[in-house]
Structure 1
Amino acid sequence: MSLERLFETVGQHFLNVMYFDGGRYVIAAGVLTVFLLVFRTWAANRRIQRGKNAGMKDYRREILSSGRTVLVFGVTTMATLIGREIGVINFALDDAPLLTIAWQFALIVVVHDAYFYWIHRAMHSKRLFRATHLHHHKSRTPTPWTAYSFSSWEAMVEAAYMPIFLLITSLLGITYAGFALFLFLWHMIIRNVMAHAGSELFPAGWVDNPLTDWISTTTHHDLHHSDRHNYGFYFTWWDRWMGTEHPRYKEEFRKNAKPVVMFGGQRQPTAERA
């Protein structure tokens, strides 16, 4: 690939990439914010950190730093596209069988969960925390807009997953379906804003059902912001295997996920909160 063609590719696609990465964040965080406002009583009754709410200063910091994160993700996406142009990264934009899309999507999610857990724990080390992860933890009471509130260093580490994963799978001879990648990117941001909702979004009984208790809830990540346990993203596996799950996680979830009235009415205190 010539240098001229390289710059042409960057020029043609960079704005589209920025619109896509920024749009995912704004749509996911915006829709959840509207949901929490419309169902205000429901959200208040499922509030995880009772009596604590983010202020305008927090929202302003989160949205401004999220713009920086979108830029970093955009640059990384362009690097991925350039890698495809020069032949070191493989993914196809053609239609693929549904089964192929399903197993490729599942693989990239499971591997990303492991990647996130270990880089997250690393960023909590004394040497790295201040430079990388401290900015995200300024959001002691998370909001949907906390999802992309990263320092530049953390944004780069988070964004690096996609090109690293695709480079390794390309070396193994796997050509990823573009739609599987598209689904993953939307799944990632949706789960991210759900984890930072501040109110429990998952139904009562979730942590007591073996078919669902391995999927992380809003409470799972909210406890990380207030008590520094629970380093996992989509699943609870790594925290359980490594002994880093909050000891009262299930208890706290049960308190937050009680069925409540969504429109009007007063919530009756439960035994746990009475």
Structure 2
Amino acid sequence: MIQITNPATFWLTGLLFFIAIFGRYVLFSLLFWWLFNVSMKDQFAHRAVQTRPRKPGQDWREIGWSVLTSLIFTAIALAVIVAYQKGYTQIYTAAQTYPLWWYPISILSVLFIHETYYYWLHRWMHKPGVYRWVHKTHHDSITTSPWTAFSFHPLESTLQAIVIPALTFVLPLHISAVGIILMIMTFSSAVNHLNTEIYPRDFDHHWLGRWLIGATHHGLHHAQFRFNYGLYFTFWDKWMKTESPDFHRLFKEKTKSALGVEDKKG
């Protein structure tokens, strides 16, 4: 891990982290936008979850909020690095420090805890007294796109950003596992906000697919507000009966071909 030894190194590290965080967001967003709005537009046009047009200038507003989000993520990352250097975190760099089986378990544990934290945080953010101050910025994007993935009010960005860093103080995590978790987070957020269903027919009933959130699932949250609060997975929505009753119907509709014939599986 980078060693911060003086103010110049601190600010250079911050700049590098901002480039990495914001660049990762731009890379995933641009890639998905190009794939499904340019390269394969005709094949996926019928899979748009929301058909209402996006607001004028919405892309740039979302990118602007995403810059602020990336700055907040950078500041918290720097705090974790300083804490690591002082020996406060459980991050390790030598693979043999813990048994090999712990590596995937640690990643799955963080994803489960993150999902649980986010689900209940998300429901809290929809309370009337909280919503306008914390979550409304994100919901200004009713018709989403990959650019919506990091479009949060700074208060929400901070609340979202603290959980994974907090876990580094209590859970042993290899530095590469932290990187994988952050890549999964960015990838999932881009897919969920794509507004184009990319999963195949019947994937919502597949043994794996029924637990994964995609564009239809999260698009309904932006349209209906009262359902589908999950981040990566659907299990809390299923357990708490907050999954939209329209989800399976809409998923089936969006995974039909442009000619009205259901797309082939896989």
TM-score of the two chains, using structure 2 as the length reference: 0.90
Take 1:269 and 1:99, find their aligned partners in 2: how far apart are those partners?
Answer: 46
User: Hey, what does 1:206 align to over in structure 2?
Assistant: 203
Per-residue Cα deviation, 1:27-74 (whole angstroms, up to 9, x for no partner)? 110110110121001221111113x12244111110111101000100
Take 1:211 and 1:60, find their aligned partners in 2: how far apart are those partners?
Answer: 35
Take 2:169 and 2:10, find their aligned partners in 1: how far apart are those partners?
Answer: 19
One-letter code aligned to 2:40: F
User: Hey, what does 2:260 align to over in structure 1?
Assistant: 269
Aligned 8 A contact 2:48 2:197 in 1: yes
User: Hey, what does 1:240 align to over in structure 2?
Assistant: 238
> 3-state DSSP class of the match of 2:89?
coil
Per-residue Cα deviation, 1:152-201 (whole angstroms, up to 9, x for no partner)? 100101111122111232xxxxx210111110000100000100001101
Aligned 8 A contact 2:32 2:190 in 1: yes
Take 2:170 and 2:92, find their aligned partners in 1: how far apart are those partners?
Answer: 16
One-letter code aligned to 2:130: L
- State how 1:99-138 maps to structure 2 within 5 Å: 99-138=101-140
> 3-state DSSP class of the match of 1:231?
coil
One-letter code aligned to 1:251: R
Take 1:165 and 1:122, find their aligned partners in 2: how far apart are those partners?
Answer: 21
Which runs of no fewer than 5 residues in structure 2 stay unpaired? none
One-letter code aligned to 2:116: A
User: Hey, what does 2:212 align to over in structure 1?
Assistant: 215
Take 1:98 and 1:206, find their aligned partners in 2: how far apart are those partners?
Answer: 32
User: Hey, what does 1:250 align to over in structure 2?
Assistant: 248
- State how 1:51-200 maps to structure 2 within 5 Å: 52-95=52-95, 99-169=101-171, 175-200=172-197
Take 1:13 and 1:92, find their aligned partners in 2: how far apart are those partners?
Answer: 19
Aligned 8 A contact 1:9 1:82 in 2: no
- State how 1:14-53 maps to structure 2 within 5 Å: 14-36=14-36, 37-50=38-51, 52-53=52-53
Take 1:142 and 1:62, find their aligned partners in 2: how far apart are those partners?
Answer: 10
Aligned 8 A contact 1:6 1:82 in 2: no
State the shift of 1:5 in Å.
4.2
State the shift of 1:100 in Å.
3.2
- Aligned length, in residue pairs: 255
TM-score of the two chains, using structure 1 as the length reference: 0.88
- CA root-mean-square deviation: 1.8
Taking only the aligned residue pairs, the percentage that are identical comes to 28
One-letter code aligned to 1:232: G
Take 1:251 and 1:8, find their aligned partners in 2: how far apart are those partners?
Answer: 56
Per-residue Cα deviation, 1:116-168 (whole angstroms, up to 9, x for no partner)? 10111111111211111000000010000000000010010111112211123
State the shift of 1:95 in Å.
3.7
One-letter code aligned to 1:34: W
Which runs of no fewer than 5 residues in structure 1 stay unpaired? 170-174, 261-266
State the shift of 1:7 in Å.
3.9
> 3-state DSSP class of the match of 2:31?
helix
Aligned 8 A contact 2:200 2:255 in 1: yes
Aligned 8 A contact 2:90 2:170 in 1: no
Aligned 8 A contact 2:125 2:135 in 1: yes
Comparing 7-16 with 213-222, greater Cα deviation is found at 7-16
